Amino acid sequence: MQIFLYLCAMKKIFVIIWAFISLFCASCKHSTPASMVSDHARYFAISDSLGSTCLTIYSPADTSHILATYTIPQPYTRLAVTSATHIGLLDALQSLDKIVAMTTPEWVYNHPQQPVIYIGEDLNLNLEQLFLAHPQALLITSYGQPLPNLDRIREAGIEVIQMVEWQEQTPLARAEWIKFVGALIGKQDLAQQVYDEVCERYHHFIRSWDDAPLILSGAAFRGTWYVPSGGTYMGRLFRDAGAGYPYYDDLRQSSIPLSLESVIHDFGNAEAWVGANARSYEELATIDSHHTWFKAYQNHRVFNWYKQSTPAGANNFWERGIVHPDEILEDLITILRGEASDTTKLHFAAPLH
């Protein structure tokens, strides 16, 4: 009889525990975009449940579809990262010390002070080195395809966090992912503070012009010139800088491929040219002699984003820039005003020499 009563009591306890766990999991899995604690970002939500943080990632293709859900009972202290943007977000949170492993170190501008294990490339990870680093979580860039060896990584006790910050279409939306990373590492208050300061500065810099200076972006590549649409990250920056730009009404969320003839027609008289993939006018002309036809080239008003970069390819534009679109916007306005000859006023942009 005592055994029977004991078994009944244990069954009740099990039912209570199971209900508790089910309620906890459901609170994360059934989060909706309406619960999103964000001002601009569309692809993540954060909520608290039973002492843990619940993070939800929504599919950029369809925000009604949940891409992934994570429960964070304790802040992570050991992370593996696979993108410059991950490093930029952690750097803004004064948390580079939490990085224990990274990919392609030659492309990293802000290196952690502590020893870090290198784990190959983002789509070709060295699992032996990854497991040696013992990260609690691996931040990956989600390209809409499964990460090779995903099951093995999870079996090793490593949480795989799918990051889609790069698919946000506005500057402040990408910057807002600092809140997501802040939730991962227990620095939500600092994340909110940094984000609020960036938003304040960004809105302070937004400009309009009586006679908006025309701006050109990019360069020719194998006969095609890709320019930002009005619905892209850089297109929004152009609009907020007050630049003249003929493709604001094209709201596709991708670059627009143009023929050289179309670019010359639309931008031949542009006052400024930004994002050129060269460091000198000679190099730009060598890439394609047609580059010399543009007014901005002839007037020496062409700029790249290489001011904070290394010969190996690391560029702070991709790290700090994700958190500080206010500084990118300030660069654009400085260029449009014709004040960029004083390079101390520029954060990421640099004039060609």
Helix and strand numbers (H, E) in the chain are 13, 17
- To the question of domain 33-202 being in CATH 3.40.50.1980, the answer is yes
- Residue in 87, 151, 101 with CA at minimum distance from that of residue 129: 101
Tokens representing 58 are 């929504």
Q: What is the distance between the alpha carbons of residues 87 and 75, in angstroms, rounded to a whole number?
A: 17
Record: fold of 208-351:
Rossmann fold (3.40.50)
Please tell me the predicted confidence (pLDDT) of residue 20: 40
Tell me: the pLDDT tens digits for 123-178?
899 999 999 999 999 999 987 677 789 999 999 999 999 999 999 999 999 999 99
Please tell me the predicted confidence (pLDDT) of residue 221: 85
Q: What is the mean pLDDT of residues 212-233?
A: 94
What are the backbone dihedrals phi and psi of residue 304, each rounded to the nearest 5 degrees, phi first?
-105, 180
Please give the sequence-ordered ranges of beta strands (E in DSSP) within the chain, or none if there are none.
44-49, 52-59, 62-72, 79-81, 99-102, 117-118, 120-121, 124-125, 137-141, 159-163, 215-217, 220-221, 224-227, 256-259, 272-274, 302-304, 350-351
What are the backbone dihedrals phi and psi of residue 168, each rounded to the nearest 5 degrees, phi first?
-65, 140
Q: Work out the pLDDT band at 242, boundaries 50, 70, 90.
A: very high
Do residues 47 and 35 make contact, with C-beta atoms less than 8 angstroms apart?
yes
Do residues 54 and 28 make contact, with C-beta atoms less than 8 angstroms apart?
yes
Tell me: the pLDDT tens digits for 16-71?
434 443 444 444 544 444 344 578 999 999 999 888 999 999 999 999 999 999 99
Please give the sequence-ordered ranges of beta strands (E in DSSP) within 43-89, or none if there are none.
44-49, 52-59, 62-72, 79-81
Tell me: the pLDDT tens digits for 183-195?
999 999 999 999 9
Q: What is the distance between the alpha carbons of residues 97 and 75, in angstroms, rounded to a whole number?
A: 14
What mean pLDDT, rounded, does the chain reach?
90
- Residue in 316, 309, 248, 241 with CA at minimum distance from that of residue 274: 241
Provide CATH 3.40.50.1980 ranges for the chain.
Answer: 33-202, 208-351
